[in-house]
Amino acid sequence: MVKNDGIKNASIMLKKLTEMKTLPSVAARLTRMISDDKSSAQDFEGVIKMDPTLVLRLLRIVNSPLYSLRTPVTTISEAVAFIGINNLRNLIVVDALKNLFGGKSEEEPFSRRKLWMHCVAVAICSQMSAERIFGQKGEDAFLCGIVHDIGLIIADQVMPNEFSKVCMAWNPKDDKKITQYENDILKTDHTMIGYMLTYDWKLPVIVQNGIKHHHDIFDEIDHKSLPAIIQVSNYLVARLNYRILPDMKGELSPPLMIHIRDNIKEYKALAEDLPEELAKAKEIYSLE
């Protein structure tokens, strides 16, 4: 019943939203095309060239040391072929989102800047976990990580006074998740809001569900599922001080605590490499 009420109230909140209700037009068209198997590289080129900033970013990434190409790529269609559709999707979403995380003073309990850096860290850590720990492609994990807390921005924008009360009420000494504070005051939480928004944006279903369940505590969970990967990444980046609120720690489902313990060497190596990978991602995606 609580989840159903949360979805209902999240929907009501999204109806009040203006600035972030939809992706920018180019990004929205591209995400729809990515979901359509019939779209060709030429189709993407026709839409991408409408956004000169995106064109420059795409060509810069493809011609960076990341790809080490002998001959520079100069056309959009070639760039799309090299970077891949899922990486293109992530680039589009990052470009659409990053300017929305400004505007809050660093002196306040909640800082959009800190939230952005937290999401970036979770995105990179999630991609690394998917690829290194589980041997699977990491693009969806990156996407889920970069948008997993977007519901906080929406709550801050639509219900600023109530959201401020959530941040002020937060007490790390309480045995309560941040979503419990949100539900008490907002009557919904950022997982529900983010889930509903990414449903509207037509992002992959597994990404939607990763957002929806990343704060749920499970007695059983597939370690390589996106909710699990995001939970573990939240936990790891909090220990590296990429936190949303002071002293906030990532919650872990009991099976994930055991999973980390059983793979501690791999996760220690991942944590050690994370700062370098963050630096690379900031350069590629202009994340600062």
Confidence category of residue 44, pLDDT binned at 50, 70, 90: confident
* pLDDT over 80 at 163, yes or no: yes
pLDDT in tens, 100-148: 676 555 556 788 888 988 999 999 999 999 999 999 999 999 999 999 9
Locus of tokens 């997993």: 148
Q: Do the domain assignments include residue 73?
A: no
- Which one, of 22, 7, 24, 16, lies nearest residue 155 by Cα? 16
For residues 199-221, give the mean pLDDT.
Answer: 92
Mean pLDDT of the chain: 85
* pLDDT over 50 at 1, yes or no: no
d(CA 238, CA 174): 17
Q: Do the domain assignments include residue 228?
A: yes
CA 40 to chain CA mean position, Å: 27
- Which one, of 94, 145, 149, 27, lies nearest residue 286 by Cα? 94
d(CA 133, CA 111): 31
Structurally, the chain folds into a number of domains equal to 1
For residues 71-92, give the mean pLDDT.
Answer: 84
For residues 183-205, give the mean pLDDT.
Answer: 90
Report yes or no: 203 and 30 within 8 Å, Cβ to Cβ.
no
Report yes or no: 192 and 3 within 8 Å, Cβ to Cβ.
yes
Q: Do the domain assignments include residue 231?
A: yes
* pLDDT over 60 at 70, yes or no: yes
Per-residue model confidence (pLDDT) at position 246: 87
Residues 6+ apart with CB under 8 A from 104: 110, 111, 112, 113, 156
Q: Do the domain assignments include residue 177?
A: yes
Whole-prediction pTM value?
Answer: 0.84
Give the domain CATH number at 12.
1.10.3210.10
Q: Do the domain assignments include residue 50?
A: no
| CA dist 113 → 99, 104, 118, 191, 281 (Å) | 10, 7, 9, 19, 17
Q: Do the domain assignments include residue 78?
A: no
Locus of tokens 């972030």: 20
* pLDDT over 70 at 184, yes or no: yes
**8-state DSSP, 225:** S
* Two tokens, residue 254: 């009991």
Q: Do the domain assignments include residue 40?
A: no
* pLDDT over 90 at 29, yes or no: no
Parent domain of 8? 2-16+101-285
Confidence category of residue 229, pLDDT binned at 50, 70, 90: very high
* pLDDT over 50 at 284, yes or no: yes
Confidence category of residue 33, pLDDT binned at 50, 70, 90: confident
d(CA 250, CA 265): 20
Q: Do the domain assignments include residue 179?
A: yes
Q: Own/partner pairs for 132-135, CB < 8 Å, 24+ apart? A: 132/266, 132/270, 133/224, 133/263, 133/266, 133/267, 133/270, 134/223, 134/224, 134/229
What one-letter code names the amino acid at 87? N
* pLDDT over 50 at 21, yes or no: no
